[in-house]
A and B are shown apart, each in its own frame.
Chain A
């Protein structure tokens, strides 16, 4: 038997088209990868990473474990659709192979109930399982439908505003499963090959309709079902549903240690098109919930970039606080993609720019420990003075890199997209660090810390933040902190917390000095002070609005002092605070226990 009917044509054409586009896209992206990335893939394929990737694909692409963690109802919705559909295809293929034999064409599996040749008597376990799966998928569709109308009920204040192609694909997707139910029910009315669901509906149809009408409607239903599938498959590679397949290679490539960088590259496409536009990134964004800016969140940024419509105003309007990145169920490197989209237009520094830095060395002192205050620390001299007292109390010999003026670490330039210019400044600083033979570099500024750690490649020099350094001094018995009866609260700076993973060191120090009361949002969920260097669009009053919202939350703890560990955050929070705002180094320096 050739299992052919005209209605299979839309499905076959749509499917072929979809796979052709996907293969073409992936092929092009892979081909354009830099050589180093290609080598990494070759190294990774025959390693354990492949097995780990397979496991992750099952967990994330099919079961959606990360969405479950963020929001269980959303997790079920995605899982029932993705895993449910996957099982429908897999079990359906097994059933068709058993009944029709192997080597039958694809459409015969997909439209199996229509082409079913078996004589059915009694209970059919396959039909039962398939109906159960269909029910599961339908429950997901119902939830998705409900979410469109009442997103708050599913824990989302705002959902993504979708573009036309997404709406086409979404409509087709929602129609596929109800149409499948109708088609299979009509087939069951004729062939009695349904399970508890389609079979039940089939008996009802058979009992109430004329057999000629049933024949006509059966044919019509299968045509519509095939059209719905075809519409979805044709729209799919151009819509958000491209994520369904793209997340799979992304997981593998990530396991092979491919990452996006400050400069755009072909790998970015895998990340950009793996975005499902679920919109989980919208609600936490402070630009949205404080300033009511609604078109710049990661979901819109990625969408605009994917369709080549990215406006500088969107790319530049982001605090890069990383709150959305920490929530993204696909784990897209949102900050890096945002960064490298800023690079193109402005990054052509004159050849002589920063030449004046050549040979300038204003550093002073001697020691294996170097201290880099950074611009913002020099603008908040209480921090610098506290560090001077701490170094002195610990008896540390210090090489002061920039106490008497020095150049910028380069990160502000990098964040504004001037990567090439930033690298020139970095090279100068690197020379300076190497020249003075330090083995540890302490900085008070998390912004500097991040760029030293990630971009400088300082071999033989350990880069640490002053919170880590001070805690080490205490643990080594070189310093001790007097306990006071004071209450402190702590603001996690983005660059230190989410950016560098330093959460516990400052807290441990604060607990030595007094009692720590946590604000509502802390650690990975901490809010941005609003003064982030990364946002090139919002003005001072908008920054201050974000800052005062954060300050109010910190003041609500009732603590007498707001402690932070970033000079920029300190300045931002102090603007509206009615209580004292202090750096962690101040808290320590003020409560040093005198050695007896």
Chain B
């Protein structure tokens, strides 16, 4: 019997960490609060920048996890870090020789930007809602019609002093571009607008996709945040913004307003802080340093991987899943 490692969270980072540790002879135990593995990715439809269906990434991974015989506990929400493991809601405990926290992030609650009308107006939705619609295979307005004009708004809950979020959520720009293209593919006659402050295309193939969005898909990019929205006739949404490139205010009525919601630190981070770990000012967990210590917590036997420490894309999270296995193996002398 190898040494046990508790993995908090069964998203892509957690699964990769478990697979890598298993390969090194440890006995990982995944403690997942949801009723299935896959984390936030499982709720997505297709992945940027290649439009790869989520099943093509998650499917083989889940199969490997199953084949490796990794112990999985779903419906177990970690409540506190305890000596040598974690305590879950309802009284259970999981102990191990090391703990890897891969509990990811929370999605920004768009209701906090009440001025955009999410939860108040018809046809104001978030990127998460839109992915669900893609998955359900039915994208339409609340009135059941096909949208003729759609606006995407970037940076909802990111880089916004007013909601206390100074950080960039990193993946939303490319998400907005990806979803805009998908909408254009679904509704070729529709006008699609992206309202942005900056477009930050950090990954391979991202900038190219942004270029194609403009050249091939004729998607309009307007530099300027939407200041407020209101309900117009027939379930339409009227938006007010400023086009800062031409320096003029603009008003537009759209059939659908998609809020590109950012990432914020997970709600469970507070319980880790109570267990002696450090939460950074931005609400994510603070790794020992952003370089060689990026998967270390600073507390012996506790490690991080994935978006629990900062917004990350799938590739980055998978890399950290592998990297953390390296450091845990070193620690456990595997």
Contacts and interface: CB of A to CB of B under 8 A. Distances in A.
Contacts, number: 31
Contacts of A574: 112, 114
B240 interface: yes
A382 B229 CA distance: 12
A540 B228 contact: no
Nearest to B281: A541
A379 B115 contact: yes
Name which of A380, A381, A574 has the most chain B CB atoms within 10 A of its CB. Answer: A381
B114 A571 contact: yes
B117 A381 contact: yes
Contact of B161 (A379, A385, A540): A540
B186 interface: no
A120 interface: no
A379 B164 contact: no
Contact of B112 (A378, A381, A541, A575): A575
A544 interface: yes
B115 A381 contact: yes
A405 interface: yes
Using C-beta atoms within 8 Å of the partner chain, give the interface range for chain B. 10 to 19
B164 A381 contact: no
Contacts of B121: 381
Interface string A553-596: 00000000000000000010011000000000000000000000
Interface string B151-186: 000000000011110000000000000000000000
Interface string A344-385: 000000000000000000000000000000000011111001
Contact of B120 (A378, A385, A405): A385
B313 interface: no
A381 B120 contact: yes
A320 B229 CA distance: 31
Interface in B162-218: 162-164
Contact of B115 (A380, A540, A575): A380
Contacts of A379: 114-115, 228
Given A385-B120, A405-B240, A541-B281, A378 B115 contact: yes
Contacts of A541: 164, 281
Contacts of B117: 381
Interface string B2-41: 0000000000000000000000000000000000000000
Contacts of B114: 379-382, 571, 574
B164 A378 contact: no
Contacts of B281: 541
B95 interface: no
B141 interface: no
Contacts of B164: 540-541, 544, 575
B268 interface: no
A405 B281 CA distance: 35
Nearest to B161: A540
Contacts of A575: 112, 163-164
B294 interface: no
A574 B228 CA distance: 19
Most buried by A among B112, B162, B163, B230: B230
Interface of B: 112, 114-115, 117, 120-121, 161-164, 228-230, 240, 281
Interface of A: 378-382, 385, 405, 540-541, 544, 571, 574-575
18 contacts: A379-B114, A379-B115, A380-B115, A381-B114, A381-B115, A381-B117, A381-B120, A381-B228, A381-B230, A382-B114, A405-B240, A540-B164, A541-B281, A544-B164, A571-B114, A574-B114, A575-B163, A575-B164
Closest 7 CB pairs of A and B: A379-B115, A540-B164, A380-B114, A381-B117, A544-B164, A381-B120, A540-B161
